[in-house]
Structure 1
Amino acid sequence: MSSLEHIRERITSLDQNLLTLLNERRQLSVEVAKSKLANPKAVRDQEREQQLLIRLVNKGRELGLDAHYVTQLYHTIIEDSVLSQQAFLQELTNPDQQQSAVRVAFLGSKGSYSNIATHRYFSRYQKQVVELGCVGFQEIVDSVESGQADYGILPIENTSSGSINEVYDVLQQTSLSIVGELSNNIDHGILAKPGSRIDQLTTLYAHPQPYQQCSRYLRTVPGIRVEFVDSSSKAMEIVANSDDPDIAALGSSAGGEMYGLQALQTDIANQTRNETRFIVVSASPIEVADQVPARTTLIMSTSQQPGSLVEALLVLREHKINMSKLESRPVQGNPWEEMFYIDVSANVRSDQMQSALAELSRITRYVKVLGCYPSEDVDPTQIPLTALVSKQDEQPSTLINTEQDDGALSSRSHKPSSTVIRVGDVQIGDGEFITIAGPGAVESQNQIMACAQQLKESGGAILQAGCFKPRSSPYSFQGLGEEGLGYLSQAGKHYHVPVMTEVSYLDQVATLASKADILYVRARHMQNFNLLRELGKTTRPVVLERNNIASLDEWLKAADFILAQGNQQVILCESGVRTFEGQGKATLDLSAIPLLRSRTHLPVIVNPGEAIERREQIAPLAKAAKQLGADGLLLWLHPDPEQAKVDNAKSLNFPQFSHTLSELYS
């Protein structure tokens, strides 16, 4: 047996070889970019990336490596390859911006979110950063305009708190150009001196934006007073320089480490996915290479006539220009007039963009391009879920009968085309058959992590588990509540899969919607109309399971309670109806699938677990549901079904789940 020291020496040697190979791969990526100069092609070829990932996943499995490990590793490598090619092409296109050191103005000081974003952005271009911390957004702009800084970094919007209006107002008055962008994942935490306890905190120092993004969690911390400061780094600095163990800062764990602080609580943002988009500004505009995906930001002011904004936006549609953002802000000094900020996916030098700008100049009161810059967020290439199992047969075509004129929001007469619901990178209702799976309840962090890994490895799309479990007996397991919700959310983040959990009561909706991607209404609550109305006010998709004594009409009317409140993301789930068979079990109503196809535009999935006596019956029912045109399947998955605290009789173990999906897609 090798000694520990010898094993570590081998690991060190392998790591050095890996770094050498990664550097060689990066250099080859640049050579790829050079080859595209003579024959301009887009930097990304996602079809090739997808084929590459499928081959690597299959090869990895032969070597004993799971699919998630391989895809996560190569997503990082592919992102580096794309950004390296873009940086090379951009430097060729803009030779006057090849200085090795740059002066950058940002909000706060070391450890602030803007500081972290600054180093991440300029590391892509292998630039040495000379830091210039500022106390406000206007000071950042002033520093670049006066020549003290070459660039400024400004946070423009957040997925939780929305647009940062002060930055939009600053942009309205500046002559600077936007020359870059990036999005940073923001992990807010409570940071304090080592040895501090969260239940003893009296004061929290925070910047208003992070505070707003964590408002739900902070309302649950009793007796804590909030002191607002001008940056997260200032908050951390105050705590680091104090001897008071009862004060804390709101900031990132990475930033806290720079100040010797420990995280008492992490992942406390209102939204599961909390990202901030930053823009980079400079005194001079840049050109974006033809091979690089470009984004253009412009501002415009329209006349006060009805339909003037619509007329301007139609110009973009007529020129086939995709608009990714529209934001309005008051025109400073002109009461009740609005300035519109627009992001489009187009290069300002392109013929279509130039033509659109010329037309906009004729029909608007004011139009100005704030900048054209590379779109540098590299979305991970997705492997088709069916590629993780056996090759999928072609989906049978389904004839749609739209002869229904009852006017219900769920009906084909209201919307003839089928609704497609997107959750993360998963689409439900687009013709692909997806699988939702997980344990009946979150029992521990290890359990839900293991289920998430197996789901991802086997080709499942969405992880589900109950956190609050209403049971008929007070002595039965009631779920882990918010603790379980945290474990479920972490598992989804770690394995990059959306998560679903069931909701039973009105007061759960806000909490569950902040952490789960889909909310699941079980059959017993199908006609809890107050709950359905509340779910209709959320932005989360809702899976509505059919009560076992409900007709199709009653089921669709229940869906309309959600749709009527504004939420159009409803997924119907067939789980069986009560008959004289099954010894108390429901009978799966597979005939409902084609009937629903003719009557409603909503996606339909099937939960066979309520209609089985033995686990072996799941596979044929699943195959039948797929053949009849269902959009997906809901299965119960557990590492050890016999020991499951909830739904043990209908839960599949890991080999059974993998085999079922393999049979389903083969």
Structure 2
Amino acid sequence: MTLKIAIQGIRGSNHHQVALDYFGNDIELAECLSFDALVQQLLEAKADQGVMAIENSIAGSIIPNYALLYQNALHIVGEHYLNIHHHLMVLKGRQLSDIREVSSHPMALLQCKEYFKNFPNIRLVEDVDTAETAKRIKEQGLGHVAAIAPKVAAELYGLDIVADNIQTIKNNATRFIIVRTKNKVLPRKEINKASLRFITDHKRGSLATVLNVMSDCNLNLTKIQSLPIMETPWKYAFFVDVTFDAYHDFDKAKKLLDIMSENFTILGEYKNAMR
């Protein structure tokens, strides 16, 4: 049975590339122009799994996605790191000198900002997706518009790349998580990373105590992100990623954290893609 994978964006986007890297070519895509739409595809069982960007090595965390995960009880079942390469592409036969506007996802524009300081006459316009702009240039014959998108988008939509790797920082990677509505139970010996959410008391040292428990249980904290709890002003939930060598260390930590924190939730147990 062919898996249906929900992605943010369309064919030719970075999410599409991750879906291909992680699941292979034998998949069906559910193209979504927002992360909310992606989640809805999963909740309505219109897609089996989803690919969701969660953080970038330059721009940091995509904070709303943490809330989407928790509020919709999604499970992280895997992760994938993608080196991001931004290319400037135009309608076939056009040159950079023809371009008056560059349209792309806000994150792509942010990561290529320095490049466009040399082109003050080019207007930067935010769009919903990198590949969607590339597709629109082809379909509408937009000779004055360029897109910032992955190389696969130029190949899919028949565009010319007029500038390669225009991102400011060349070592630019995004972490993507693989999500679904039900947990995928892996053998314990294969699990070496987990994503957690918890709330601590409004007391001095509460967070430090929880972090010390993780350290005492041989967990390596690789990520911590706080997010306001809307129903309770000035109170925060913490989202953390931890890695470990032995599952029994994590098992011990889970039991302690469940006692020592509020609303302790395991968002996912999976394989560390950095190994």
**TM more than 0.5:** yes
Q: Give the secondary-structure state (helix, strand or coil) at the position aligned to 1:149.
A: coil
2:91 aligns to what?
A: 193
Are 2:262 and 1:361 aligned?
no
**In structure 2, do the counterparts of structure 1 residues 198 and 333 end up closer, same or farther at CA, with 3 Å as the change threshold?**
farther
Are 2:224 and 1:323 aligned?
no
1:103 aligns to what?
A: 4
1:275 counterpart (160, 173, 176): 173
Are 2:194 and 1:296 aligned?
yes
Point out the more displaced range, 330-339 or 233-242: 330-339
Distance 1:205 1:306 in 2: 47
Deviations 1:413-462 (A, max 9, x none): xxxxxxxxxxxxxxxxxxxxxxxxxxxxxxxxxxxxxxxxxxxxxxxxxx
2:66 counterpart (165, 168, 175): 168
2:211 counterpart (313, 316, 331): 313
TM-score, length-normalised on structure 2? 0.94
RMSD: 1.7
**In structure 2, do the counterparts of structure 1 residues 364 and 200 end up closer, same or farther at CA, with 3 Å as the change threshold?**
same
Amino acid at match of 1:201: I
2:128 counterpart (182, 206, 230): 230
2:19 aligns to what?
A: 118
Shift of 1:181: 0.6
Distance 1:144 1:275 in 2: 26
Are 2:241 and 1:241 aligned?
no
Structure 2 contact 82–174 (Cα < 8 Å) conserved: yes
Distance 1:223 1:365 in 2: 53
1:333 aligns to what?
A: 231
Shift of 1:242: 2.6
Shift of 1:340: 1.0
Structure 2: gaps spanning 5 or more residues:
none
Distance 2:102 2:49 in 1: 32
1:390 aligns to what?
A: none
Point out the more displaced range, 179-188 or 261-270: 261-270
| Higher RCO structure (Cα 8 Å, ≥6 apart) | 2
Please tell me whether Structure 1 or Structure 2 has the larger radius of gyration of its CA atoms.
1
Structure 1 contact 160–270 (Cα < 8 Å) conserved: no
**In structure 2, do the counterparts of structure 1 residues 220 and 169 end up closer, same or farther at CA, with 3 Å as the change threshold?**
farther
Structure 1 contact 299–369 (Cα < 8 Å) conserved: yes
Q: Give the secondary-structure state (helix, strand or coil) at the position aligned to 1:152.
A: strand
Distance 1:172 1:287 in 2: 19
Structure 2 contact 189–247 (Cα < 8 Å) conserved: no
Distance 2:267 2:249 in 1: 18
Structure 2 contact 190–270 (Cα < 8 Å) conserved: no
Distance 1:200 1:333 in 2: 51
- Give % identity: 26
What number of residue pairs does the alignment pair up? 275
Shift of 1:291: 4.1
Are 2:38 and 1:140 aligned?
yes
**In structure 2, do the counterparts of structure 1 residues 291 and 355 end up closer, same or farther at CA, with 3 Å as the change threshold?**
closer
2:55 counterpart (154, 157, 166): 157
TM-score, length-normalised on structure 1? 0.40
Structure 1 contact 240–261 (Cα < 8 Å) conserved: yes
Runs of 4+ in 1 over 4 A off after TM superposition: none
Distance 1:333 1:190 in 2: 43
Deviations 1:81-127 (A, max 9, x none): xxxxxxxxxxxxxxxxxxx411110011110110111111002xxx7
**In structure 2, do the counterparts of structure 1 residues 101 and 377 end up closer, same or farther at CA, with 3 Å as the change threshold?**
farther
Structure 1 contact 191–261 (Cα < 8 Å) conserved: yes
Instruction: Report the structure, 1 or 2, having the larger strand content.
Output: 2
1:344 counterpart (242, 252, 259): 242
Deviations 1:551-594 (A, max 9, x none): xxxxxxxxxxxxxxxxxxxxxxxxxxxxxxxxxxxxxxxxxxxx
2:110 aligns to what?
A: 212
